[in-house]
């Protein structure tokens, strides 16, 4: 259960309205790596986590997911303020007087006026709605925390790019806070992963016995694109990261199966007759 | 540019048809962690990679993306064979005679008959079509390879679950191959990440100067969910994973911003009047 | 069954082409509150309505749904005419000569040229395709007509905003017609709702016996966000709108359930081990 | 900013596992009318609301949105518990022994095992992911609260149907709580609407001057589907609901526009030549 | 503008309820090749068609699109009737008594009860909502009519498969009507195409001058998959279908471009450093 | 199985960066008619094709699908190069100095910077992600090859429109190659169709016996839109294209079914009471 207070976790005060920056910030709010994704992802991972022995991870997830809800609030506020007084009325006349404003009107998200009335949207910078397939919550924390680390990495890359796109000191200040939190969260998931990997081994899921996999292919690199630059990396030779094998490099990979073919379909399916 | 040969990289020979297993395998083919995702993700990361100094990573990506195309072919073949002679004709009569077959007919994907004529679909196990937002290709390899590692981890978890759901030795054999390749790919992306982290530092992107972030929040854990189990982990104290800070644990996090409020909208927006 | 005539229900004659306005009008055509939504929503509610005693509602729905098809035709025509002679050829040269036209080209929907050849699209103002989940048709008219009223309210708000964004007298004239129809439709669904509420009671569905709900929570307001401004409204005290209870205001809502926790998963699921 | 406690707002204790009921409850969690929709909808309406004079509505929205987050937690827990020990291993053998279990396996969501490891998903009962276009937040409260009322009506209808589909007393108890809250929320939005309608008038948006619409069509019913049963309702005669007009019934509606036709496209568009 | 009559174009009378068949028929209603697609596709092609000289094609499209609306009505009715009295209440008890009914309950679309109350949905057989990207309306009739022919071909294949899946004489009768109309529509679009190809040439668009394409590649077949079975077809030798070239078969296709590589990104993009 | 070489099938060398053209080319890469669609469509049709007698068609499909993968690579490269050095940093300052650049920044896809770091995306020109429902693979080649012909027709129309929109000689050169290949592929699928139609007859699927359809409606044109211009075409009289019937024109089509009505729902569904 949640309680809300109306104070923001961190301030969100642009120096001036900027509808194009508002559009770019939609990616930070509700893009694949956005605040909505991590909020719902961490909460759902927490609520779905099984086994009381895992309660410290459950707490970790719910702590962080609850903070991300505060980030959703911050970025929503930032977007709404960047839309203050957007020059929507009689666009032709405005654009004729001022090509610069014309370009802004041409480039701003039309839904920011028509659909949300100068408010934030649960959509990314292209207007594509946030959707639940962004959320990773597999029940296996090794897999989940790697996805969390990836999301915070993608998220910090995106926030850095939006930061570069503006000189608005207020927006930069808020982004500097969010970017710092991404730094923490990258560190945090890596710390948690190091614990899990110590207990379960490196390969996820750690519970699937390696005897069951075709182990002769578990540490082999196949060179399917002509040119052998890929032979220069740590993945091509030496001990594997899980400490259980040795990387091999196969320069000319060969097919091991037969020609692909299928028997005819029964007549009631009306496929092409054989 | 690509060349194709009709031999499969690895055999795909179910012991017997099983339309319900075919439906489950759609997740392996075209779910978020499926073969289609990693094929397109690695190829696009490779084609988008900038700078000739990165050519070994480009080669690594194109090698692996090209292999994943072969996995798409393998899993498509597996699905089609599991659909051989699916008992589609006159479903009522069949189900009345045999409740077991009735359950299969009730549970199989209707699109496997109606839409694809007993063939594989670019959809997941719920019939939701594969889509391009699954693909991560940020141009920043630290972020991308972490996503690759997460995808291979989620993918191996899913393949293990499908493996458990059947005793078909043919399907298990093919899955054992794919799971072994997931093992390799988890190792491989981790190996590549260790190289990148050595060069660029742990936090992605390594090029955004930490002076620009609000560093007082870069290593702080906020306890937003009541209960302090989360204080027990490595993320709550000690040196941070990037070697640049020390984790702190804040038991009672406080708001730092003001109350959230927004100025009225101009009249031409027709928001609720203030 | 339908018959079509080629005359428009109302004229659709822009004064001049305007590709940016064409893009904004896509929201009116095929956004969530657009003409396509209400056309399909009303027709489907009508066709799905059960019971001959409800035939006057069925007729009401089919009358209005059929009119909305005419609105789809009107707005499609408006969009196509606003795209007449869109300056698509050699965009760089054009933009270099005239920054104003450059801004238009930069802001117009590229799909209006590339995909539809200067025609209307079944997409909203962000290019997101219309989809069937917009349609509400629950089989319960109390729920459905409230959604209809909401759709016509959102629709009229959007049409008003597009109206404000242009001075084109032709487009404003057509919008003035569509806005008038939204006025009628808001009135109409409210009129129908007052009939239904009289018969079935206010709470939808009226057929679910209130004894089955946990009635001690049926008229209670929980103050989950700090600050008690919400105590000032009619929802916080006095008789409830359904005439069956009295609103209560709980200033400090408490949890009534236990701590959330789940038992471990079976091993064949490969969740994180407990 | 939010604080979380681990106690549930209300208990969520099924009597026994039931994977098919878990699937049905996904609609309550993350369908169009589900808890995720109303949580995000109310919060976003609250954060986007402009003008300090509206702070009681902002508080109302944030109070209720925060409660809905607790409902997301409750329903997620319910789903996870209904999936306890789902019989996933070796499905063929199980189904051969027990057709009843076979039917369950055939009908349960495969993603509940493969993708989420026996956890809740941000998807509806068909596996379709929750998406941001479900959220209505127009900036105009008259439109928004009508949508809120519709969402709570559709939501209560759905919860009633899931209630009927099971005799599990634990699940029914939790649903009885959620249904009671839907009762409150229907009453609450209606109460708020009656305030707004008193201030702004009935037609949304109240700020668009009716002189601008084509008023001769503002209270007219057009009989577009043959048969005049629709003449029997309150929408066909008498004073309109907004108190500003009189309903008229037009038995044989006529076209008022000209034949639809468009001028040829320029050659660089490569449309069909005229 | 449209007029509606309540009589169906053709009868839709199942012999008995069958919720699984109702689910399969959703594909016919609102799948990619379904009635909704062709209705909206033909109407939009008609309304978007430019040039009065094309008015016979405009009429052709509006005639057929209007008929397809009647098919939407027919299939919606069929689905609703197949859902009459679906055994939804207390599913566990029912399934325990009768495994056959249990299988039906497990396999029927849960949204047919929960979301639509035993009505048709604008979704396909997997519950995926119909969406506007299904619609092809390019403004070029040669391209559009080919898509129409493909849609009617896919549609008739699907209808034939659903026909095979049931022995219900009522449903088969309705499908026999719809299949006959698909026969007509395949013939009709082919007839219209033969007119267009006579006027504009075979290759779409006929207006793009072939001098502008790299004509040395316009009639060449590249053998990219090992094995030369593809040399046996009419596409590998002899005159081309447009009468302007001669097919050639290239057994060993070679790359004509250079190695793919990209220059580094500017630092403000924060891509992987070169 | 596939092998990759790093040389492009054809060169992709823009004369100069152009982020707006990059956005338009996303339609060619990953729109409905784009290279991703045809690549995956042809490969999946090939892998799903049943019956060894069809191996020349399987080879044809895999040859062409493999070539389309090379086109995906070409267009991805083109897009990335058009994004070289996109002026992303400090957009306000740049736009203030140069309205022309301001318009470009306003119009470019924000995801090309924020999400992909100046790389190609699996999305269309509106940022809508490519999705699997674009792919047609019915198992019936008559239906499939007609869809292939339609895709190549729509694709060539789109490529022609993008060609017209730029004077960049490098981009035009690459498009001239792709357009030539579309010419070949239109010819090729038509050639293959003429073979199939000779064997199976014109109507797809050729295996559904026409006795089963309601043949009295198989060659009838219904004039549902007032006006008889549609009587002027080849579809209105004379022998049908399949050589099995004679087209008839029905000027005043009549309903053949009864009034649409449905019986009441059972009470546990909570529909509107009858
Ligand atoms: Ca964050
Ligand atoms: Ca793989
Ligand atoms: Ca309307
Ligand atoms: Ca609720
Ligand atoms: Ca039809
Ligand atoms: Ca191509």
**Average pLDDT, whole number, for chain D?**
96
Query: What mean pLDDT, rounded, does chain F reach?
Result: 96
Q: Is D6 on the interface with B (CB under 8 A)?
A: yes
Contact list in D for residue C241 (CB cut-off 8 A) is 186-187, 190-191, 194
Quote the CA–CA distance of C212 and B247 in Å, as a whole number: 51
Please name which of C154, C161, C168, C4 lies closest in space to residue C79, comparing C-alpha atoms: C168
Q: Cβ D167–E52 below 8 Å, yes or no?
A: no
Tokens of C240: 């409830």
Is the CB of D5 less than 8 angstroms away from the CB of B226? yes
Contact at 8 Å (CB) between B231 and A55?
no
3-state secondary structure labels for all residues of D206-254: CCCCHHHCCHHHCCEEECCECCCHHHHCCCCCCECCCCCCECEEECCCC
Give yes or no for F56 touching A (CB within 8 A): no
Grade residue F25 by pLDDT with cuts at 50, 70 and 90.
Answer: very high
Lowest mean pLDDT segment, chosen from B222-236, C22-36, D81-95: D81-95
Distance CA D146, CA D38 (A): 13
Beta bridge partner(s), residue D3: A3
The two beta strands, D2-4 and A2-4, are antiparallel
Facing residue for D164 by CB, picked from E47, E88, E109 = E88
pTM for the whole thing? 0.97
pLDDT category at B116 given cuts 50, 70, 90 is very high
Find all residues with CB under 8 Å of E169, minimum gap 6, and list them: E15
Question: How large is the C-alpha radius of gyration of chain E?
Answer: 25
Interface of A with D in 63-82 (CB under 8 A): 63, 65-66, 69-70, 72-73, 76-77, 80
Considering only C160-174, E83-97, F19-33, F214-228, which range has the smallest mean pLDDT? Answer: E83-97
Give contacts of B69 with chain F, Cβ < 8 Å: 2, 69
Q: Is the pLDDT of residue D41 over 80?
A: yes
D78-118 pLDDT tens trace:
999 999 999 888 777 777 788 778 888 889 999 999 999 99
Report how far residue F262's alpha carbon sits from residue E117's, in angstroms, rounded to the nearest whole number.
Answer: 13
Interface contact flag, C140 F271, Cβ < 8 Å = yes
Q: Shortest Cα distance from D59 to chain F (angstroms)? A: 33
Q: Do E119 and C132 touch (CB under 8 A)?
A: no
Q: Cβ separation of C210 and D183 shorter than 8 Å?
A: yes
> Residue B10: pLDDT above 80?
yes
Query: Residue A138: its chain B contacts at CB < 8 A?
Result: 154, 157-158
Average pLDDT over all residues of chain E: 96
Q: What is the pLDDT of residue C90?
A: 79
Does A106 touch chain F if contact means CB atoms closer than 8 Å?
Answer: yes
CA dihedral in degrees (B225, B229, B231, B234; nearest 10)?
A: -120
Nearest to B3 among F3, F40, F122 (CB): F3
* Other C-beta atoms lying within 10 Å of the C-beta of residue A71: 26
Exposed e or buried b per residue across D12-51, where buried means at least 16 C-beta atoms within 10 angstroms of its C-beta = bbbeebbbbbbbbbbbbbbbbbbbbbbbbbbbbbbbbbbb
Predicted pLDDT at A92: 76
CA nearest to E129 within chain B:
B128
**Residue C166: per-residue pLDDT:** 95
* Cβ-defined contact of A166 to F92 (cutoff 8 Å): yes
- Mean pLDDT, residues E243-252 taken together: 97
Looking at the complex, report in whole angstroms how far the Cα of residue C127 sits from the nearest Cα belonging to chain A: 8
Statement: residue F95 has pLDDT above 80: no
Residue of D nearest to E142 (CA): D272
E80 to chain C, closest Cα gap in Å: 7
Averaged over C143-162, what is the pLDDT?
98
Instruction: Please name the member of A63, A69, A132 whose beta carbon is closest to the beta carbon of D130.
Output: A132
Residue E55: pLDDT over 90? yes
Ligand nearest E184 Cα, by number?
Answer: 5
Within 8 A of D21 by CB-CB distance, chain E residues are 91
Please check the confidence at residue F93 and state whether its pLDDT lies above 90: no
Interface of D with C in 125-184 (CB under 8 A): 128, 131, 133-134, 136, 138, 140, 142-143, 146-147, 149-150, 153-154, 156-158, 160, 163, 172-173, 176-177, 179-181, 183-184
Identify the closest residue of chain F to B116 by CA–CA distance. Answer: F138
pLDDT in the model for residue A161: 98
pLDDT at B55 over 80: yes
Interchain CB contact of E265 with A (< 8 Å) = no
D26 near E114, Cβ under 8 Å? no
Q: Is the peptide bond before C135 cis (omega within 30 degrees of 0)?
A: no
Which residues lie near ion ligand 3 (Cβ < 5 Å)?
C 71
Chain E 196-225, CB below 8 Å of chain D: which residues? 196, 200, 205-208
Q: Give CA–CA dist C20/C25, Å, rounded.
A: 9
Contact assessment for residue B153 and residue A142, using Cβ atoms and an 8 Å cutoff: yes
pLDDT for residue B246 is more than 90: yes
E strands, chain B, where? 2-4, 220-222, 248-250
CA angle at C265 for the pair C263 and C271, rounded to the nearest 5°: 125
Q: Read off the pLDDT of each residue in B212-219 and give the average, rounded to a whole number.
A: 97
Which chains neighbour D (Cβ–Cβ under 8 Å, 3 or more pairs)?
A: A, B, C, E, F
Mean pLDDT calculated for residue range C75-91:
93
Partner-chain residue, chosen from A160, A161, A270, that has the shortest CB–CB distance to E160:
A270
Angle formed by the axes of helices F169-200 and F19-30, nearest 10°: 10
Q: How confident is the model at residue B101 (pLDDT cuts 50, 70, 90)?
A: confident
Structure tokens at C163: 């109206």
* Residue B82: closest C-alpha in chain F: F48
User: Can you give the pLDDT at residue F189?
Assistant: 98
CA distance D112 to D21: 12
What percentage of chain C exceeds 70 in pLDDT?
A: 100
pLDDT digits (tens, 9 = 90+) for C193-217: 999 999 999 999 999 999 999 999 9
Contact flag F3-B2 (C-beta cutoff 8 Å): yes
> What confidence tier does D143 reach under pLDDT thresholds 50, 70, 90?
very high
Model confidence band, residue F109 (pLDDT cutoffs 50, 70, 90): very high
Longest C-alpha distance within chain E, in Å?
73
The residue of chain D with its CA nearest to that of A84 is: D50
Q: How far is CA D155 from CA C215, D39, E102, in A?
A: 17, 13, 26
- Is residue E157 predicted with pLDDT exceeding 90? yes
**What is the CA(F41)–ligand 6 centre distance, in A?**
12
Per-residue pLDDT tens digits of chain A, which is 274 residues long: 999 999 999 999 999 999 999 999 999 999 999 999 999 999 999 999 999 999 999 999 999 999 999 999 999 999 999 999 998 887 777 777 887 788 888 899 999 999 999 999 999 999 999 999 999 999 999 999 999 999 999 999 999 999 999 999 999 999 999 999 999 999 999 999 999 999 999 999 999 999 999 999 999 999 999 999 999 999 999 999 999 999 999 999 999 999 999 999 999 999 999 8
**Does any CB of chain C come closer than 8 Å to the CB of residue A106?**
yes
């Amino acid at each position: 259960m949640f309680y809300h207070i109306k104070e923001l976790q961190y301030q969100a005060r642009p120096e001036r309205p900027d509808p194009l920056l508002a559009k770019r910030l939609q990616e930070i709010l509700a893009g694949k790596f956005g605040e909505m994704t991590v909020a719902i992802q961490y909460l759902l991972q927490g609520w779905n986590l099984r086994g009381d022995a895992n309660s410290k991870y459950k707490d970790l997830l719910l702590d962080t997911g609850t903070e991300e809800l505060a980030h959703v609030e911050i970025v929503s506020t930032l977007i709404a303020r960047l839309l203050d007084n957007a020059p929507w009325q009689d666009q032709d006349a405005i654009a004729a007087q001022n090509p610069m404003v014309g370009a802004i009107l041409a480039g701003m998200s039309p839904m920011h006026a028509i659909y949300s009335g100068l408010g934030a949207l649960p959509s990314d910078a292209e207007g594509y709605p946030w959707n639940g397939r962004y959320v990773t919550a597999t029940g296996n924390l090794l897999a989940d925390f790697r996805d969390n680390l990836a999301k915070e990495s993608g998220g910090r890359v995106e926030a850095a790019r939006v930061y570069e796109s503006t000189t608005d000191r207020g927006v930069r200040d808020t982004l500097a806070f969010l970017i710092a939190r991404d730094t923490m969260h990258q560190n945090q998931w890596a710390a948690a992963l190091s614990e899990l990997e110590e207990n379960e081994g490196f390969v996820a899921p750690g519970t699937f016995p390696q005897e069951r996999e075709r182990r002769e292919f578990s540490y082999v690199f196949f060179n399917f694109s002509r040119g052998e630059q890929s032979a220069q990396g740590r993945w091509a030779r030496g001990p594997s990261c899980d400490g259980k094998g040795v990387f091999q490099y196969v320069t000319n990979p060969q097919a091991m199966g037969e020609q692909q073919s299928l028997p005819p379909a029964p007549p009631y399916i009306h496929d092409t007759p054989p």
